[in-house]
């Protein structure tokens, strides 16, 4: 059974755990067990560590299927599930520390550089607060992002955005996740009080972007094409997949509700041509969004298999394409919500939580598509002033 088939088989269990996860503001043990059974949390981990080393298209589609049943589970599957891919780029010493005792160990993250990462002799000094660490309560470590001075690559100096990996004893989780959407993700705050992180547990994103193609330590042994895809595009892809799953979950619920819903005058809405048109348009938009995300995943892998370093313009287009797809899906959800009757505003309405999940997912910073449109459009037109985004 493929990973996608396992996700579909687990749909009922995931759906049953969705409301309890939202209630406790983190995934239930049953939801986590379902994700482990599917294999999605280790899908991008190198095979030599017992991982799936899966194709990105299979991973993205699996995340979408999980999110269709439970938006929170799909979101955690996307963001926690992609971390083994990044850890595989770190030195062997780091991988051994993370996975040596427990290859199934889960690592959370928060990349927005709100805390402080300072370069010091032998490593980094880390302190401050990071928010939106999805799935942190089911993980035993975290990747944090920050700017540690500057770094020169190919003769140009750049702000040195780095990722550092901390063990669970090096930070604390503050439960701040009291939100309207994606409540079950447990995206709490991470607080660090001046912890030293050795150099081999840090990696510069300058090499992921401006230095793409320069060999990274982990690629020596993890030499599959999967580990040569660009970081920013890969992460944008999985975030888009998480959002699409949430949008499809809303769509499924809308169809279920509308099949039996009647107007105030007793007429079945399913018989109304305008309602049928709303459904057809929504199905088309969502299908197109999914196809675009899967296409990008396939193109990423094909470029990696050719050992090709994609141009900045190509990377900008990929990021724009998947982010715009997620936004188009969210626009579809909002259009359907507008024709869902006033009762959908009640908190206990079957559509309300799924609507909030889709809105929350679509609000991720990597899905803000205006600068991505400029980043690609400017390059395609030969403009000199270009939007500053990670590529």
139: domain CATH number is 2.40.110.10
Q: Is residue 375 part of a domain?
A: yes
> Quick one: pLDDT at residue 59?
98
Q: Which residues contact 312 (CB under 8 A, 6 or more apart)?
A: 379, 391
Q: Is residue 390 part of a domain?
A: no
> Quick one: pLDDT at residue 340?
87
> Quick one: pLDDT at residue 305?
97
The span from the CA of 337 to the CA of 102, in Å, is 44
Q: Are 219 and 228 in contact (CB under 8 A)?
A: yes
Choose the final residue of a domain: 52, 80, 100: 100
> Quick one: pLDDT at residue 85?
98
> Quick one: pLDDT at residue 343?
84
Q: Is residue 213 part of a domain?
A: no
Q: Is residue 391 part of a domain?
A: no
119 and 93 within one domain: no
Distances in Å between the Cα of 219 and the Cα atoms of 28, 52, 225 are 35, 17, 10
Q: Which residues pair with 92 in a beta bridge?
A: none
93 and 113 within one domain: no
> Quick one: pLDDT at residue 341?
81
Q: Is residue 300 part of a domain?
A: yes
Q: Is residue 139 part of a domain?
A: yes
> Quick one: pLDDT at residue 270?
83
Domain encompassing residue 122? 108-204
pLDDT averaged over 10-residue windows placed end to end, the chain, 391 residues: 97 98 97 98 98 98 98 98 98 98 98 96 98 98 97 92 97 97 98 98 96 95 97 97 98 93 78 87 97 98 97 97 98 94 87 96 95 96 92 93
186 and 232 within one domain: no
152 and 31 within one domain: no
116 and 57 within one domain: no
376 and 233 within one domain: yes
This prediction has a pTM of: 0.96
> Quick one: pLDDT at residue 237?
98
189 and 86 within one domain: no
Q: What is the number of domains present in the chain?
A: 3
Choose the final residue of a domain: 170, 189, 204: 204
Q: Are 230 and 177 in contact (CB under 8 A)?
A: no
Q: How many CA atoms lie within 13 A of 186 on its CB side?
A: 23
Q: Are 72 and 179 in contact (CB under 8 A)?
A: no
Choose the final residue of a domain: 53, 69, 100: 100
Helix ranges, the chain (H): 3-9, 11-24, 29-38, 56-69, 71-81, 83-87, 92-99, 231-260, 273-305, 312-337, 352-362, 370-381
Angle at 47 between CA 46 and CA 48, to 5 degrees: 90
363 and 235 within one domain: yes
Indicate which CATH number applies to the domain containing 27: 1.10.540.10
Q: Is residue 386 part of a domain?
A: no
> Quick one: pLDDT at residue 113?
95
141 and 57 within one domain: no
Q: Which residues pair with 233 in a beta bridge?
A: none
149 and 76 within one domain: no
> Quick one: pLDDT at residue 291?
98
> Quick one: pLDDT at residue 388?
87
Q: Is residue 18 part of a domain?
A: yes
Angle at 292 between CA 277 and CA 206, to 5 degrees: 140
344 and 240 within one domain: yes
Distances in Å between the Cα of 141 and the Cα atoms of 80, 144, 166, 170 are 11, 10, 6, 9
367 and 275 within one domain: yes
Indicate which CATH number applies to the domain containing 309: 1.20.140.10
């Amino acid at each position: 059974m493929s990973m996608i088939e396992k996700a579909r088989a687990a749909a009922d269990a995931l759906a049953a755990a969705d409301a309890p996860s939202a209630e406790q503001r983190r995934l239930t043990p049953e939801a986590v067990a379902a994700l482990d059974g599917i294999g999605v949390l280790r899908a991008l981990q190198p095979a030599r560590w017992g991982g799936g080393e899966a194709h990105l298209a299979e991973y993205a589609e699996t995340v979408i299927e999980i999110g269709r049943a439970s938006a929170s589970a799909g979101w955690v599957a996307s963001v926690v599930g992609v971390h083994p891919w990044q850890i595989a780029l770190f030195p062997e010493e780091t991988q051994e520390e993370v996975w040596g005792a427990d290859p199934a160990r889960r690592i959370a993250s928060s990349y927005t550089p709100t805390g402080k990462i300072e370069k010091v002799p032998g490593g980094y000094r880390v302190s401050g607060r990071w928010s939106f660490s999805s799935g942190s309560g089911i993980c035993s470590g975290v990747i944090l992002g920050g700017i540690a001075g500057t770094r020169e690559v190919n003769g140009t100096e750049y702000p040195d955005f780095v990722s550092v990996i901390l063990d669970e004893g090096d930070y604390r989780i503050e439960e701040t996740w009291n939100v309207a959407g994606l409540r079950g993700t447990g995206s709490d705050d991470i607080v660090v009080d001046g912890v030293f992180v050795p150099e081999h547990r840090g990696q510069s994103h300058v090499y992921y972007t401006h230095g793409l193609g320069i060999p990274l330590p982990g690629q020596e042994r993890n030499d599959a094409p999967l580990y040569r895809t660009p970081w920013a595009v890969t992460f944008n892809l999985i975030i888009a997949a998480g959002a699409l799953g949430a949008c499809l979950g809303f769509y499924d619920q809308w169809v279920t509700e509308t099949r039996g819903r009647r107007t105030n005058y007793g007429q079945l809405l399913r018989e109304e041509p305008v309602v049928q048109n709303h459904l057809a348009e929504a199905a088309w938009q969502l299908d197109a969004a999914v196809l675009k995300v899967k296409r990008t995943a396939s193109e990423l892998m094909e470029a990696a298999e050719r050992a090709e370093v994609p141009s900045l313009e190509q990377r900008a287009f990929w990021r724009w394409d998947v982010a715009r797809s997620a936004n188009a899906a969210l626009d579809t959800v909002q259009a359907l919500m507008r024709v869902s009757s006033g009762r959908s505003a009640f908190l206990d309405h079957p559509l309300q939580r799924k609507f909030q999940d889709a809105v929350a997912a679509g609000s991720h910073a990597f899905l803000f598509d205006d600068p991505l449109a400029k980043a690609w459009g400017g390059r395609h037109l030969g403009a000199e002033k270009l939007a500053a985004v990670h590529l």
